[in-house]
Amino acid sequence: MPLDAAQCYQALTARDARFDGAFFVGVTSTGIYCRPVCPARTPRADRCRFFASAAAAERRNFRPCLRCRPELAPHPASAAVPDNIAPVDVVTVRARIAGARIASGALDGRALDELATELGVTARHLRRIVERELGASPIALAQTRRLLTAKQLLTDTALPMTQVALASGFQSVRRFNALFRARYRLAPGALRRSAAQRSREPESPADRITLSLGVQPPFDWLSLCEFFRTHAMPGVEAVRSGTTPEYWRTVHLDGHNGVLGIRAGAGAATVQVELSASLLPVLVPLLARVRHLLDLDATPSIIASQLREDVMLRTSVDAKPGLRVPGSLDAFELAVRAVLGQQVSVRGATTLAGRLVAVIAEPLPANGEITTAAPLSLSHRPLTAERLADASLDSVAAVGMPRTRAACLINLARVVAQGEFPLLSGALSGPPSAHAFEAHFTALPGIGRWTSQYVSMRALRSPDAFPDGDLALCKAAGGVTPAQLRRLAEQWRPWRAYAAMHLWASLS
């Protein structure tokens, strides 16, 4: 996508955080590319070249800045897009979806043809639209993502080179060393030595690593933690309260198990993610899911500017800048939590969720996957579709729900386990459409409109999803009916999911 050089330079000179991750600037006099918020002295305009992605900058032989660290930039280009897009924008949206999939490791050990088939296009067409919109080929995007991940691991951890290479998505250490030297003109070991000289922070224990993820400020971490606390799956998730709250949970991803913890970073533009070393083989897709969970790729300034136009939302928007839509680390787990929440209070659904986890989920092994920093309340691995599908109706109903709802949960688990809903099992079959998903999802016995909208909002990251039948939303909007709320919400498009979060927040 063409960038306006004058506007980019204006954002660069202002060090405007709203554009962090939206573009990168290469400086011809140094051969370095930076984020627009880099604290280094601003170069002259004639020495600046602007790129839509880090891969596009590296394609022109620029190396990443060691000061602003492009690997920590947020990823607004991969943020979710409204479902009601104009046909002319379909190519742009498909390219952004492809970019997001590549960022989550879709091309690590897989051919481009496989990703193209999943997105419903030919490899040639995918290559063309990605290069046009993001300034680099899909392969170049994947290589740059691997290199930047490796650069972060070299800077922030003491992992051996072999683990750095494999965790970053490289298939061999030799390929990692060769590409790192060719692209950055620096040996990986030299970067680690220079990083050690810059930072004297204590290293994490051997059983866990800690990494930073970038986010566009403002970022309302406290509201996210409060939401996670009230909507947790007890035994799987926990929020440690305090002046700096932390979110912790167990993880099961592609056969790998462990735990992760998240806390606010030292600055307003980062969060700290601490994870078990056992999760290193799935580091790239896991970090992509964490970005999804925390809605790190949102653009709060754009969202707030529209929602503030409504008098009803203005107070909340001003009081809670950077309010995010909580996503999910596991879409199936979220769907189960949503079904449990049908026609019961949030507290009641949490109680049922804890009982279901205790009966169905796999307990953590005695030798422990829990790091010493994790809360002791984490007791089980995440609930999987396969285990719930094999459960008896009596055992599920015995946790305290009607048999019809227990049957709904078991049926949902079976169709997900059979691959009927790839979006709920972590896979992707074409660009995700909230409308198509909701129509398909509500066709299942026992799944209502509210449930499908809620899952679309949090699991599919649809920014315009809106559970208009939610009684709490109707109350927050002044005691209106669901039909009146639907009409009222039209002015909040395409950010109705964020409007819902502000309405819920206004009740507390």
Residues designated as active site: 34, 470
Output DSSP code: residue 72.
G
| Cα-trace Rg, the chain | 23
State how beta strands 32-34 and 208-214 pair: unpaired
Q: Is residue 329 within 8 Å of residue 461, measured between CB atoms? A: no
Closest among 157, 140, 142 to 203, alpha carbons compared: 157
Burial of 288 (0-12, 13-18, 19+ CB in 10 A): buried
Contacts of 88 (CB under 8 A, 6+ apart): none
Cis peptide before 494 (omega within 30 of 0): yes
Q: Is residue 260 within 8 Å of residue 371, measured between CB atoms? A: no
Output DSSP code: residue 43.
P
Secondary structure (3-state) at 337: helix
The beta strands (E) that lie in 227-318 are given as 237-240, 246-253, 256-264, 270-276
Q: Distance between alpha carbon 109 and the CA centroid of its chain, in Å? A: 22
The beta strands (E) that lie in 139-225 are given as 208-214
Strand order in the sheet with 32-34: 48-51, 24-27, 32-34, 63-64
Q: Distance between alpha carbon 489 and the CA centroid of its chain, in Å? A: 25
Closest among 322, 196, 289, 267 to 37, alpha carbons compared: 267
At 30, the amino acid letter reads T
Pairwise CA distance, residues 365 & 378, whole Å? 12
Burial of 158 (0-12, 13-18, 19+ CB in 10 A): middle
Pairwise CA distance, residues 69 & 214, whole Å? 10
Pairwise CA distance, residues 337 & 409, whole Å? 10
Token digits for 48?
A: 């600046």
Q: Is residue 463 within 8 Å of residue 497, measured between CB atoms? A: yes
State how beta strands 256-264 and 32-34 pair: unpaired
